[in-house]
Structure 1
């Protein structure tokens, strides 16, 4: 059995997948998206380093890179998905990679989510910002806490300046109500769902309101409650994912989904978890490839 690991660069996740595949007698095949040659109306439709890659049982997507090339690479993998099961599915990755799409999918599936406004009109965004006690501006496409702007306590003029700068940098204003933790601490929950189970969860705590591990957040074990499990699985399924890292905030009126990650790392989580997360993912991949 051969499984692909699609990534422009190797990191902890790719190495962890490789190690676990080998322990399961699976041959890992590393694939750089930039080196895939795709052909249409040809017998060999996909080559990587002169190798036909359509014989893979399935393939994991880790990192397709940045820049304008990523759009072509995404389409290449969308094409490849017709011949090789891709994990996560490309539609799910697209849903999770766009914060607006994630937000409206939470809304239509009645999954608790912070109040959110999306607009290209700075003045309309300012009116919305004035209605909330505290708001955060987020790039539609981004991860690891980069590019976030909080405007609490700013004057109307200062908010307008922040919104104009954000609009200039990002094109679209995605404005979300800041969720205050009822325990008066800066923390959120990263829960990891695989198939029909939330296999592990952690608190991410920080002295700053940005709690991502890559932004110096500290991981602590979090017990998976029934409420958390139900919410996280609903969010994963709403986006069409096989596995997901779901970010959840505690609030005075219950848990709320903040973000869903379709290509998450579980490096930080693995340090505080007793669960073999990678094995769950490999098992889910085998089952998913059988169904496709």
Structure 2
């Protein structure tokens, strides 16, 4: 059973449920993809069998002491939760999924990455805002719901001899990217759900050599990195890019760490590109990054490192909660 802390005398509210350190670990995902299986094996190798559950199967239930409906959890809170995947869906569905993650954090549960970070990264316009506010060099970006404003932005860039990249506001793995040279290249309104996110296109540092960095950050450290060589200007591994192991400079590492920190990420994949002036710009921060491509060019187990860091943080969080510091 969960530990229960009584409320002050005279309160009509329910007792507050506190997570126990020996409570189960939640792994949000279906557990069937490479990452889910890899994470499951790493946890089990450390004597832990996490409750693997899709966020789509979760919800709220105020008849329970913790107010949540999570299959396999029963009437107690988890010790910690690791978010591998948040499913798509209607606005209402995604709001509820993120609401469950918010509720866990509000209940004192450590969540990697928590809903605030996921919201900041899934919405590319918010990521761009956070990066710019943090003083990080990042491509100029614009977001609008008005097509005529998007057309005007493209025209201004064209007058500067530049192009734009149109990205789905909520997108991943290079899907739905469009290189925009003229207003006619803009995707139709229905394909972008009425929202235009445009990012200045950064030409490759060397002609026709399309490449960028993926730097994997975990708990304030750069864990691994690779150069992605694209067959086109889209350099995602899922789009056919080739990975090559690489060691980032200290400046590049510091940039990646600052980028992850400005969105509050416990672990993240930071995408960085080099411009023709030799400088680097942060393109995106991924709060649920894939690392199977990176693992192929990395000699140690990335999953094992992530799980160890997660468990270290969870136990430290649990001890702080017991002292009333979390």
Is 2:272 the counterpart of 1:243? Answer: no
Q: 2:189 aligns with which of 147, 155, 167?
A: 167
Determine the structure 2 residue equivalent to 1:82: 106
CA RMSD of aligned residues (A): 1.8
Shift of the 240–54 alpha-carbon distance from structure 1 to 2, 3 Å rule, reads farther
Task: Give how far 1:39 is off.
Answer: 1.5
The 2-side partners of 1:25 and 1:9 are apart by 18
Determine the structure 1 residue equivalent to 2:135: 110
1:207-252 residue CA offsets vs partner (Å, 9 max, x unmatched): 2111111111111111121121001000000000101001111112
Task: Give how far 1:87 is off.
Answer: 0.6
Is 2:209 the counterpart of 1:209? Answer: no
Task: Give how far 1:34 is off.
Answer: 2.4
The 2-side partners of 1:239 and 1:113 are apart by 14
Is 2:28 the counterpart of 1:14? Answer: no
Determine the structure 1 residue equivalent to 2:15: none
Determine the structure 1 residue equivalent to 2:165: 136
Is 2:92 the counterpart of 1:67? Answer: no
The 1-side partners of 2:76 and 2:36 are apart by 20
Structure with a larger share of its residues in strand: 1
The 1-side partners of 2:75 and 2:84 are apart by 17
Is 2:257 the counterpart of 1:228? Answer: no
Determine the structure 2 residue equivalent to 1:125: 150
Q: 1:148 aligns with which of 177, 202, 207?
A: 177
Determine the structure 2 residue equivalent to 1:156: none
Contact 1:193 1:246 in 2 (8 A): yes
Shift of the 243–51 alpha-carbon distance from structure 1 to 2, 3 Å rule, reads closer
The 2-side partners of 1:105 and 1:53 are apart by 38
Larger RCO of the pair (alpha carbons < 8 Å, separation 6+) = 1
Is 2:206 the counterpart of 1:183? Answer: yes
Q: How many residues align?
A: 285
The 2-side partners of 1:180 and 1:160 are apart by 19
The 1-side partners of 2:73 and 2:37 are apart by 21
Q: 1:32 aligns with which of 45, 54, 68?
A: 54
Q: If you compute each CA radius of gyration, which structure gives the higher value, 1 or 2?
A: 2
* Structure 1 range deviating more: 3-12 or 223-232: 3-12
- Using the size of structure 1 for normalisation, the TM-score is 0.91
Gaps of 5+ in 1: 153-158
Determine the structure 2 residue equivalent to 1:155: none
Contact 1:8 1:64 in 2 (8 A): no
1:167-221 residue CA offsets vs partner (Å, 9 max, x unmatched): 3322111111111121221111111001121111111112211111111111111
- Using the size of structure 2 for normalisation, the TM-score is 0.82
Contact 2:31 2:40 in 1 (8 A): no
Shift of the 166–110 alpha-carbon distance from structure 1 to 2, 3 Å rule, reads farther
